């Protein structure tokens, strides 16, 4: 492996300070992300990942839904103010990618390949992780920052109604993205001796 992939992977970080000044047009972002998701492997080539791209008013609408939904979950007014600040930092970005799993496809596979039935839900999650990482890294390659959020399942029904999502699509993650207005925080890595074993 050359250093290029490692450099790119290290360039992908969790970016919370997002802005709207991105280097790519919306349709270029969609092409990039959809190409990357289609290039990502999935078990049995099952292609269970679905994605919805929100820009402009639709992006704002998502984060307004989250702010409203969290009101009853946050114990105090002061805590809610902090919550709102955090959610507004995602809204400050340029767009959001919603990642879904097509559960109808997963259930069909469970029926079609009974020997592997117990594996398909896990494999669908692995395809999610692989796809999300590829898109996150692909955006970083264009200087676009992103983070990975999980307000599902709290917002599932609201999102389904707001954006006309098929009933079988289960929301798995929300990825707000935009220009990088401040760098990522420090991050430590484990001692390799604690994390890996090499046997010969
Ligand atoms: C599966 C997964 C779930 C995550 N969920 C969240 C989340 O809900 N909210 C959040 O702010 N960050 C979330 N993150 C980001 C991680 O906290 C972050 O990737 C980790 O601390 C390493 O930092 P880095 O992304 O800058 O390398 C998630 C990351 C992964 C891979």
Walk along the chain (200 residues) and give the pLDDT tens digit of each residue.
556 999 999 999 999 999 999 989 999 999 999 999 999 999 999 999 999 999 999 999 999 999 999 999 999 999 999 999 999 999 999 999 999 999 999 999 999 999 999 999 999 999 999 999 999 999 999 999 999 999 999 999 999 999 999 999 999 999 999 999 999 999 999 999 999 999 99
- The whole-number pLDDT of residue 2 equals 58
- The whole-number pLDDT of residue 8 equals 96
pTM: 0.98
184 lines ligand 1 (CB under 6 A): yes
150 lines ligand 1 (CB under 6 A): yes
Nearest to 126 by CA among 40, 55, 34: 40
149 lines ligand 1 (CB under 6 A): yes
Instruction: Give the distance (Å) from ligand 1 centre to CA of residue 14.
Output: 7
12: left (phi over 0), alpha (psi -120 to 50) or beta: beta
Segment 62-99, tens digit of pLDDT: 999 999 999 999 999 999 999 999 999 999 999 999 99
Instruction: Give the distance (Å) from ligand 1 centre to CA of residue 147.
Output: 7
158 lines ligand 1 (CB under 6 A): no
Residue 37 · residue 134 · CB < 8 Å: yes
Residue nearest to atom 2 of ligand 1 (CA): 148
Dihedral pair phi/psi, residue 190, rounded to 5°: -65, 160
């Amino acid at each position: 492996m050359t250093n290029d992939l490692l450099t790119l992977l290290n360039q992908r970080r969790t970016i919370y300070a997002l802005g709207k000044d991105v280097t790519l047009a919306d349709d270029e972002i969609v092409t990039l992300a959809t190409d990357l998701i289609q290039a990502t492997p999935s078990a049995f080539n099952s292609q269970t990942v679905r994605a919805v791209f929100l820009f402009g008013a639709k992006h704002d609408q998502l984060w307004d839904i989250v702010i409203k939904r969290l009101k009853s979950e946050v114990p105090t007014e002061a805590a809610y103010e902090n919550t709102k600040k955090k959610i507004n930092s995602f809204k400050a970005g340029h767009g959001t990618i919603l990642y879904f799993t097509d559960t109808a496809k997963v259930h069909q596979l469970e029926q079609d390949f009974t020997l592997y039935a117990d594996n398909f839900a896990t494999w669908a999650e692995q395809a999610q992780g692989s796809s999300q990482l590829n898109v996150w890294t692909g955006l970083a390659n264009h200087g676009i920052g992103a983070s990975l959020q999980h307000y599902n399942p709290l917002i599932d029904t609201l999102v389904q109604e707001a954006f006309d999502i098929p009933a079988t699509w289960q929301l798995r993650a929300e990825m707000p993205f935009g220009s990088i207005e401040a760098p990522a925080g420090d991050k430590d890595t484990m001692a390799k001796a604690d994390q890996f074993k090499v046997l010969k």
